[in-house]
C-alpha cells in the first residue's frame, strides 16, 4: 500500500438536499445508484433542517440502506447544507502543503481559522464557480475534508468531539491569491485581505452530500484527489493532517459556539496552483474525490458586470513578493 492509498471502504450513502420542479427542495439520500427517498426525513426541506434534529434522527438512520429505498427520478442535487450559520476553515493544517509553501513540513502550527460568508459562497455539485476574468486575481483550488456539526457546543473537549459530528462532506476552498496581500495596507496587521481572497461569491463548493459519521470510521485515512480538466493537481491523504478533527473541533469551539449544520473545513494538502503559478480559468472543470464521500464537480465561469464586461480585481494588480503571497496563503 502506497503512502496516499487507503484501506477499502464499505458501500455508503450521504445525506443530500435534492430538488425537483414539483416538490421543490427536500431531504434525500445519495447512494451509489443515485438519489433515494428517506422516509424518516420526509417533510424536511433539506439537510440543514434535518441537522437541527440530528440527535433524534441519527439513531433511526443507522439502519438505513439506500438499496432498499425508492429511487427519486429527475432530481438535481443542491448544496447539501443550505445554508450553514458558519463556514469555518482551518489554515496551514497539512504537512505536505506546508512543505510545498514554506519548505518546512515538520512545524506543528497552532490551529488557525478564517470564515467564509455562508449564504453567498456555498454552492453545490455542478454549480459554477464564478471567477473574475482579470487573471491578476490568480484564482486557486483547495480540496478539503469538512466536518459537519450535528450537535451544538462550546469549549468541547477533544475526547467528546466525536459526539458533536453529524458527518463529513467535501469542500473546495476557492482562493483568489492576487488580492490576498495588499500593498496599500497602512500597517502589517492589515496586509492580508482574507475576505477578498476567500470570501467571494461561489468560493465554497460543497457536496455532494453529508456522509454520516458512523460510515466514516477513520477521517484521518481518506485519499484526496483533485483534478482540473482531468489533470491531477492534488493527490494526498488526510493522514497528512497536522491537527486532528477532534483537535480542530476543540480549538474552534474555544472561540465560537459550534451549531448544527456548521461546516468546519480541515485544511488542504499539497498540490495547490500557487507554487507552480497555475490557476483557474473560465471553461475549466474542477473535480474532487475524498475517500468514499462521493465526487464534487464544478465548472468555472467568468463573472460579468451588469454592463456585460468582465469584472476586474478589487485591488488591481497583485502586489507583494511571491514569498509573501505563499506564506500568507498557506492553507
Task: Flag whether 6 is in a domain.
Answer: no
Return the pLDDT at 133.
87
Distant-in-sequence, close-in-space partners of 328: CB < 8 Å, separation ≥ 6: 180, 181, 191, 192
Return the pLDDT at 177.
87
CATH at residue 191:
3.90.850.10
**Least confidently predicted of 6-20, 32-46, 68-82:** 6-20
Question: Number of H helices and number of E strands within the chain?
Answer: 7, 18
Q: How far is CA 57 from the centre of its chain?
A: 24
Return the pLDDT at 179.
65
Gap between the Cα atoms of 207 and 171, Å rounded: 7
Looking at the structure, tell me whether residues 19 and 162 fall in a common domain. no
Phi, psi of 326 (to 5 degrees): -65, -40
Task: Flag whether 311 is in a domain.
Answer: yes
Average pLDDT over residues 133-142: 92
Looking at the structure, tell me whether residues 277 and 232 fall in a common domain. yes
Task: Flag whether 136 is in a domain.
Answer: yes
- pLDDT tens string 318-330: 333 333 334 444 4
Return the pLDDT at 323.
33
Looking at the structure, tell me whether residues 286 and 151 fall in a common domain. yes
DSSP three-state, residue 66: helix
Task: Flag whether 73 is in a domain.
Answer: yes
Q: Is the pLDDT of residue 188 over 90?
A: no
Looking at the structure, tell me whether residues 227 and 146 fall in a common domain. yes
Task: Flag whether 104 is in a domain.
Answer: yes
Looking at the structure, tell me whether residues 140 and 98 fall in a common domain. yes
Pairwise pLDDT comparison (110 vs 16), residue with the higher score? 16
Return the pLDDT at 65.
95
Looking at the structure, tell me whether residues 153 and 272 fall in a common domain. yes
Task: Flag whether 143 is in a domain.
Answer: yes
Pairwise pLDDT comparison (139 vs 135), residue with the higher score? 139
Tell me how many domains the chain contains: 2
Looking at the structure, tell me whether residues 272 and 126 fall in a common domain. yes
Contact (Cβ atoms closer than 8 angstroms) between residue 46 and residue 210 = no
Looking at the structure, tell me whether residues 232 and 262 fall in a common domain. yes
Q: Is the pLDDT of residue 15 over 90?
A: yes
Looking at the structure, tell me whether residues 153 and 281 fall in a common domain. yes
Last residue within a domain, chosen from 54, 77, 100: 77
- pLDDT tens string 61-80: 999 999 999 999 999 999 99
Q: Is the pLDDT of residue 163 over 90?
A: yes
Looking at the structure, tell me whether residues 263 and 182 fall in a common domain. yes
Using 50, 70 and 90 to split pLDDT, how confident is the model at 194?
confident
Return the pLDDT at 11.
53
In this structure, the number of other CB atoms found within 10 A of the CB of residue 271 comes to 23
User: Would you say how long the chain is, in residues?
Assistant: 331
Domain residue limits at 39: 14-77
**Averaged pLDDT score across all residues of the chain:** 89
Using 50, 70 and 90 to split pLDDT, how confident is the model at 125?
very high
Looking at the structure, tell me whether residues 303 and 165 fall in a common domain. yes
Using 50, 70 and 90 to split pLDDT, how confident is the model at 312?
very low
Angle at 85 between CA 165 and CA 224, to 5 degrees: 50
Return the pLDDT at 269.
96
Task: Flag whether 8 is in a domain.
Answer: no
Return the pLDDT at 4.
56
Q: Where are the beta strands (DSSP E) in 21-128?
A: 24-31, 34-36, 76-77, 87-91, 112-116, 122-123
Last residue within a domain, chosen from 46, 77, 108: 77
Task: Flag whether 82 is in a domain.
Answer: no
Pairwise pLDDT comparison (303 vs 326), residue with the higher score? 303
Looking at the structure, tell me whether residues 44 and 141 fall in a common domain. no
Q: Is the pLDDT of residue 309 over 80?
A: no
Last residue within a domain, chosen from 22, 50, 77: 77
Amino acid at each position: 500500500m502506497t503512502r496516499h492509498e487507503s484501506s477499502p471502504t464499505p458501500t455508503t450513502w450521504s445525506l443530500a438536499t435534492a430538488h425537483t420542479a414539483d416538490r421543490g427542495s427536500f431531504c434525500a439520500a445519495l447512494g451509489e445508484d443515485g438519489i433515494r427517498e428517506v422516509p424518516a426525513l420526509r417533510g424536511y426541506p433539506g439537510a440543514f433542517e434535518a441537522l437541527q434534529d440530528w440527535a433524534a434522527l441519527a439513531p433511526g438512520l443507522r439502519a438505513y440502506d439506500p438499496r432498499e429505498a425508492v429511487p427519486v427520478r429527475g432530481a438535481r442535487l443542491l448544496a447539501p447544507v443550505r445554508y450553514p450559520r458558519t463556514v469555518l476553515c482551518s489554515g496551514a493544517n497539512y504537512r505536505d502543503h506546508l512543505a510545498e509553501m514554506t519548505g518546512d513540513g515538520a512545524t506543528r502550527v497552532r490551529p488557525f481559522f478564517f470564515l467564509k460568508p455562508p449564504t453567498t459562497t456555498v454552492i453545490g455539485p455542478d454549480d459554477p464557480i464564478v471567477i473574475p476574468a482579470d487573471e491578476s486575481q490568480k484564482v486557486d483550488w483547495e480540496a478539503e475534508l469538512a466536518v459537519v456539526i450535528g450537535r451544538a457546543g462550546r469549549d468541547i473537549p477533544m475526547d467528546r468531539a466525536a459526539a458533536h459530528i453529524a458527518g463529513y462532506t467535501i469542500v473546495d476552498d476557492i482562493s483568489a491569491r492576487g488580492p490576498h496581500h495588499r500593498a496599500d495596507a497602512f500597517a502589517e496587521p492589515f496586509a492580508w485581505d482574507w475576505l477578498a481572497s476567500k470570501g467571494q461569491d461561489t468560493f465554497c463548493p460543497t457536496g455532494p452530500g453529508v456522509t454520516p459519521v458512523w460510515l466514516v470510521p477513520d477521517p484521518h485515512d481518506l485519499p484526496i484527489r483533485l483534478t482540473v480538466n482531468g489533470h491531477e493537481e492534488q493527490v494526498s491523504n488526510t493522514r497528512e493532517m497536522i491537527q486532528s478533527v477532534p483537535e480542530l473541533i476543540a480549538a474552534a469551539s474555544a472561540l465560537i459556539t459550534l451549531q448544527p449544520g456548521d461546516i468546519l473545513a480541515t485544511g488542504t494538502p499539497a498540490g495547490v496552483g500557487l507554487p507552480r503559478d497555475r490557476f483557474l480559468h473560465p471553461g475549466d472543470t474542477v473535480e474532487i474525490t475524498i475517500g468514499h464521500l462521493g465526487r464534487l464537480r464544478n465548472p468555472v465561469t467568468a463573472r460579468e458586470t451588469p454592463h456585460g464586461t468582465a469584472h476586474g480585481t478589487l485591488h488591481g494588480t497583485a502586489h507583494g513578493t511571491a514569498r509573501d503571497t505563499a506564506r500568507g496563503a498557506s492553507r
